[in-house]
Amino acid sequence: MDCSIYYVCSNGDVFGPMECPASTPYFDGETCVNDKSACCGDLCVPYCQPGEIQVPDPIDCTKYYVCPETGAVKPEYHFTCPAGSNFEVALGTCVADAPCIILCTDSATTASPSFNCTTSMTCSSAGYFAKCSYCQPQYYHCTQAGHEAVVESCAGTLVFNPDPGYPYCISSSDCPYKPLF
């Protein structure tokens, strides 16, 4: 696990991956710090932090865990969202037509916040979406929800910005571009 990578949840949107600067390379769940021991736990192991009510299943965006107490999640509190809904990480609840955000991969999953690319995508909404979690020319174009995304490429030497807050082709020297909130 790379403890320098984190995501920002703001107004119901998830932005990232973001990276801590070299001077404070470890993300402690709130900010970037110098102390390696403050590094957050493995994204592949669901865990209830203090104050959390529900947490996502890291390998299935249609499932979540209820948190009656701080600590490791319990199988008896594992639930599935209603049909047509995904667990919205930023809101901490199931939302109809929410984007599918998978925090961890297993052998059967292709989407991940690590530096991987997805091999296909079913559109959750119309728009442009990163094919990979890093800057590269290919991206997905969706014309409507429920359809298979079409892979397109940026013109010339441009690359697609993987930050969902700014899903456009940009100069590789400016990528990744993280918009200010």
Q: Which tokens in the block code for residue 30?
A: 């709130």
| Cα 43 to Cα 20, 57, 143, 172, distances in angstroms | 17, 10, 31, 29
Task: For the chain, 181 residues long, give each residue's pLDDT as a single digit of tens.
Answer: 567 777 666 555 566 677 788 888 877 767 788 887 666 555 677 778 777 788 888 888 899 999 998 878 888 999 999 988 889 877 888 988 888 877 775 433 333 333 357 788 888 889 999 888 778 889 999 999 889 999 999 999 898 988 888 899 998 888 888 877 5
Which of 133, 129, 103, 97 has its CA nearest to residue 116?
A: 133
The answer, as to whether pTM is greater than 0.85, is no
Q: In whole angstroms, what is the distance from residue 59 CA to residue 107 CA?
A: 10
65 CB-side CA count, 13 A: 21
The domain limits of the chain are 5-38, 47-96, 127-174
